[in-house]
Amino acid sequence: MNKEELVRELQAKAKKLRRGSLWVMKEMGMGWLGGSFSSADFVTALFFYRMRHDPKRPQWPERDRLIISKGHSCEVFYAALAEAGYISAEDLKTYSHCGSRLQTHVDCRTPGIDCSGGSLGLGLSFAVGTATGAYIQPTGENLKAAVRNRESRFRVYCILGDGECNEGQVWEAAANAFHYRLDNLTAIVDHNKFQSTGPVGIKLNMLSLAEKFKAFGWETKEIDGNNLHEVVDTLDWAVTVKGKPQAIIAHTIKGKGFPSLENTNCHFVKITDDLLKKALAALAD
Amino acid sequence: MKSRYLRPMRDVAENMYSAHNRTLIELARRNEKIVSCYADFPPGEVGEVFSKEFPDRIIDVGIAEGHLITCAAGLADAGLIPFTHCHALFSLGRGYNQIRQNVAYDQRNVKIVLCNAGVIWGGIGPSHLALEDIAALRVVPKLVILSPADAVSSEKATLAAADYVGPVILRLPAIGANYPTLYTPDLKFEIGKAICVHEGNDVTILATGILVHDALVVAERLVKDGIRARVLDIHTIKPLDEKAILAAARETGAIVTVEDASILGGLGGAVAEVTSEKCPVVIRRVGVQDQFGESGTSEEIKECYGLTAPFIKKAVQESLRVKRSKAAPTKPSARRGKKR
Q: Are residues B27 and B173 in the same domain?
A: yes
Please report whether residue B150 resides in a domain: yes
Q: Is the peptide bond before B239 cis (omega within 30 degrees of 0)?
A: yes
Percent of chain B with pLDDT over 70: 96
pLDDT of residue A85: 98
Structural domain of B314: 195-323
Please report whether residue B337 resides in a domain: no
State the Cα–Cα distance between residues B253 and B204, nearest whole angstrom: 8
What does the pLDDT look like over B103-160, one tens digit per residue? 999 999 999 999 999 888 876 888 999 999 999 999 999 999 999 999 999 999 999 9
B73/A65 CB distance under 8 A: no
Query: Could you confirm whether B277 is annotated as catalytic?
Result: no
pLDDT band at A140 (very low <50, low <70, confident <90, very high): low
A125/B70 CB distance under 8 A: yes
A225: left (phi over 0), alpha (psi -120 to 50) or beta: alpha
Q: Count up the domains in chain A and report the number.
A: 1
* CB nearest A126 (choices: B59, B61, B74): B74
Yes or no: say if A229 and A237 are a contact pair by the CB < 8 Å rule: no
DSSP conformation class of B110 = -
pLDDT of residue A228: 98
State the Cα–Cα distance between residues A270 and B137, nearest whole angstrom: 37
Q: Are residues B158 and B101 in the same domain?
A: yes
Mean of the pLDDT values across residues B219-246? 98
What does the pLDDT look like over A177-216, one tens digit per residue? 999 999 999 999 999 999 999 999 899 999 999 999 999 9
Give which of B102, B57, B105 is closest to B81, Cα–Cα.
B57
pTM beyond 0.90: yes
Please report whether residue B167 resides in a domain: yes
Structural domain of A194: 3-282
What does the pLDDT look like over A218-266, one tens digit per residue? 999 999 999 999 999 999 999 999 999 999 999 999 999 999 999 999 9
pLDDT of residue B340: 47
Instruction: Give me the catalytic one of B14, B45, B65, B277.
Output: B65
pLDDT band at B223 (very low <50, low <70, confident <90, very high): very high
Q: Are residues B43 and B134 in the same domain?
A: yes
Q: Are residues B169 and B109 in the same domain?
A: yes
B236-238, strands of its sheet edge to edge: B58-60, B34-38, B81-87, B111-115, B168-171, B144-146, B236-238
Q: Are residues B151 and B205 in the same domain?
A: no
Residues 6+ apart with CB under 8 A from B23: B154, B155, B158, B159
Mean of the pLDDT values across residues B58-62? 96
CB atoms within 10 A of CB A178: 19
The answer to whether residue B78 neighbours chain A at the CB level (below 8 Å) is yes
B77/A129 CB distance under 8 A: yes
Q: What angle do CA A272, A276, A278 make, to 5 degrees?
A: 115
The stretches of chain B forming alpha helices (DSSP H) are 16-30, 45-53, 65-77, 88-93, 96-98, 133-138, 151-163, 211-224, 242-252, 267-278, 298-304, 309-327, 332-336
Q: Are residues B214 and B74 in the same domain?
A: no
Helix axes B16-30, B151-163, angle to 10 degrees: 30
Helix axes B267-278, B242-252, angle to 10 degrees: 70
The answer on pLDDT for B334 being more than 60 is: no
Yes or no: say if B271 and B283 are a contact pair by the CB < 8 Å rule: yes
Q: Count up the domains in chain B and report the number.
A: 2
